[in-house]
Amino acid sequence: MSASLAAPAPAGAGRMTLRLVLIGAMLVLAMLPVLNRLPPDSALHVSDFIVSITGKWITYAILALAIDLAWGYAGILSLGHGAFFALGGYAIGMHLMRLIGPRGVYGHPTLPDFMVFLGYRELPWYWLGFEHFPFAILMAMAVPGLLAGVVGYLAFRSRITGVYLSIITQAMTYALMLAFFRNDMGFGGNNGFTDFKELLGMPLNTPSARSTLFYASLLLLLGSLWVCGRVTRSKLGRVLVAIRDAESRTRFLGYDVTQHKLFVFVLSAMIAGLAGALYVPQVGIINPGEFSPGNSIEAVIWVAVGGRGTLVGALLGAFSVNALKTWLTTVAPDLWLFALGGLFVAVTLFLPRGLIGLFQKERR
Amino acid sequence: MSATELAAGAPHPPRGQAVPDAVLYLDGVSVVFDGFRALNNLSLIVEAGELRAIIGPNGAGKTTMMDVITGKTRPTAGVVRFHDHDLTRLDEATIANLGIGRKFQKPTMFDALTVFENLELALKAPRGPFSCLRWVLDRTSRQKIESTMAEVGLTARAHDRAGVLSHGQRQWLEIGMLLMQDPELLLVDEPVAGMTDQETEHTAALLVRIAGARSVVVVEHDLEFVRALGSKVTVLCEGSMLSEGSIDHVQNDPRVIEVYLGR
């Protein structure tokens, strides 16, 4: 796949293997909800826990893909992609809150509980429309895309790159976190949204909802993989690599670097937003903690561990680091942050091309 | 003429009236960095199809002049025109798309991409993100790339990454990238630095062949190479023009001998 960028001519066989492994992994993933339906005493039975956590990881993998598109290809190291993910999550969260209707604790026909509690008389204008699912999904893409467009335009036009850009994106997600913590923003303050009932007429927290959301996530993963592959294999992908490696040279060739970076940054934010929109119904909660800078940094580490600049690497990183996290936070919760930091240092020092580098031939 | 007018405080004449065939027109250009005058009231006219060599000691302002023409540096004062376009108001990408191509002193290309892909990126074609996304390499474009690769002798390395080329090959690839842009004016900064004698000779022949259909400005230290170009020579010193004429003329100019050749 995108490994073709790193080693264009000779890697034919390696690329085929990689593609087969990828297809195999997707098939295994697709089987999980089916195996979940087997009787619990069957050898092949997969627990509810595995299905729900894998569904969550798939949305993380989509986020990793989005980061890799911007960072691995165009060299835009965003330390605020968690914000786009969280905004997508809030958009679907608003829809889920509207669907609760009169079943809330206070029984108000339209207002969510927290609004009744805070003394709202009517829905704020920016909540209008969210009772419609398509509108919420549209917003899950449009809001992150718009934010990325504004921040990106200002930064790229002023030729802010490298660590300065990273700091700006980090500040962006931190500012959003502080804003969403405020009760008067109208997004539930530090409690955020939870206690969702149903989505598209399907009660959440049932096996069928779990497997539907799982397959929706898997479809989005495949779709994102296709879109990202379409971009990176086109001439645009090569322009992005050119910008990453020699931005000013690309300008002298006549490319408007700002436009290209903006395109990829906005696309990446929209993919991240959709991932967030599938994440929230699966975990059943969204709160301002999702904007915390630590989340964004962790997502960047997934990509670094897996191998940036190759789309498969991002997926590999997201799954393997999160598997490690799940295991380690059960066995030795205190060790996790040290392990994450250590992992990042180790990968930077010994595996600059990430885990995927172990499978690639030496670049010549 | 323009210099006298400038001295008299007259407005700059429109390009068309002043010098009918001028492609590039610099008049009274100064660039000041923190009090240091990198360019000092420099004037230069390059005509259509002309091959021009620019020489001068280190710090004479040769690279700064290139920077001003390509929009990397804004002049503190003066006029910079490419046909009727005021280059002091345009950015690098716009200037490149007007038809000014630049080869850098240190060869710069995209090391992660192959020779073919480097040339494909340089090929004159719509440059926007959506056009690039939809781009399909057609036969004409492929042939153009292949003939350029043949011209600069890199056909055998078409699918090697640019990062693994030798220094001389990198210089060639960059000249090839310039040709792909199909520019009207080529700015070539030290093309033969680090080349063997044979490669130098080959480069001189190539540049002579390219000029004619387009204007070429070559900045170079190597006087043998400049002589092989057989073109008009401009000598820069401390940001101003010191002398201009044939290579024999400037080599015998006492001022040039004093500041440059005589040392």
Residues B19, B65 contacting (CB under 8 angstroms): no
Instruction: Report if residue B127 sits inside a domain.
Output: yes
Q: What is the pLDDT of residue A8?
A: 39
How does residue B3 score in pLDDT terms, banded at 50, 70 and 90?
Answer: very low
CA distance A287 to A224: 25
Inter-chain contact B132–A252, Cβ cutoff 8 Å?
Answer: no
Q: Which residue has the higher pLDDT, A15 or B112?
A: B112
When pLDDT is averaged across residues A177-192 and rounded to a whole number, the result is 90
Instruction: Report if residue B18 sits inside a domain.
Output: no
Between B93, B113, B114, which is nearest A251 by CB? B93
CA distance A226 to A246: 27
Q: What is the pLDDT of residue B17?
A: 45
- Chain A residues contacting B, CB < 8 Å? 5-6, 8-9, 230-231, 234-236, 238-239, 241-242, 245-246, 248-257, 259-260, 262-264, 363-364
Residue B212 main-chain phi, psi, to 5 deg: 110, -60
- Asked if the model's pLDDT at residue B81 lies above 70, the reply is yes
Q: Which of B:62-81 have CB within 8 Å of A?
A: 70, 72
CA distances from residue A65 to A33, A85, A318, B60, B158 in whole angstroms, order as listed: 23, 12, 9, 49, 30
Name chain A contacts of B108, Cβ cutoff 8 Å: 246, 249
When pLDDT is averaged across residues A219-229 and rounded to a whole number, the result is 95
Residues A251, A257 contacting (CB under 8 angstroms): yes
Residues A93, A193 contacting (CB under 8 angstroms): yes
Residues B200, B145 contacting (CB under 8 angstroms): no
Residues A195, A100 contacting (CB under 8 angstroms): yes
Q: What is the pTM of this model?
A: 0.84
Structural domain spans, chain A: 3-296
How does strand B240-245 pair with strand B232-237?
antiparallel
When pLDDT is averaged across residues B129-140 and rounded to a whole number, the result is 90
Per-residue pLDDT tens for B179-195?
A: 888 889 999 988 888 78
Per-residue pLDDT tens for A302-352?
A: 999 998 888 999 999 999 999 999 999 888 888 988 999 999 899 889 888
Q: What is the pLDDT of residue A361?
A: 60
Inter-chain contact A263–B112, Cβ cutoff 8 Å?
Answer: no
Q: What is the pLDDT of residue B16?
A: 40
Query: Domain count of chain B?
Result: 1
* Helical axes B167-180 vs B139-151, angle rounded to 10°: 140
Q: What is the pLDDT of residue A319?
A: 93
- Asked if the model's pLDDT at residue A262 lies above 80, the reply is yes
- Which residue spans within A123-276 are E strands per DSSP? 193-194, 198-199, 202-203
- Asked if the model's pLDDT at residue B262 lies above 60, the reply is no
Q: Is the minimum CB–CB distance between B103 and chain A shorter than 8 Å?
A: no
CA distance B162 to A299: 32
Q: What is the pLDDT of residue A234?
A: 93
Maximum distance among all Cα pairs of chain A, rounded to whole angstroms: 67
Mutation site for A-interface testing, chosen from B104, B118, B121, B137 by largest number of A Cβ within 10 Å: B121
Instruction: Report if residue B56 sits inside a domain.
Output: yes
Q: What is the pLDDT of residue B242?
A: 86
Q: What is the pLDDT of residue B1?
A: 41
Output the CA torsion A323→A325→A331→A337 (10° steps): 160
Complex confidence, ipTM: 0.79
Instruction: Report if residue B223 sits inside a domain.
Output: yes
**Sheet containing B36-47: order of strands:** B36-47, B22-33, B77-82, B85-86
Inter-chain contact A252–B92, Cβ cutoff 8 Å?
Answer: yes
What CATH number does the domain containing B111 carry? 3.40.50.300
Q: What is the pLDDT of residue A258?
A: 93
Range of the domain at B177: 50-63+92-261
Q: What is the pLDDT of residue A12?
A: 59
Q: What is the pLDDT of residue A2?
A: 36
Q: Which residue has the higher pLDDT, A57 or B125?
A: A57
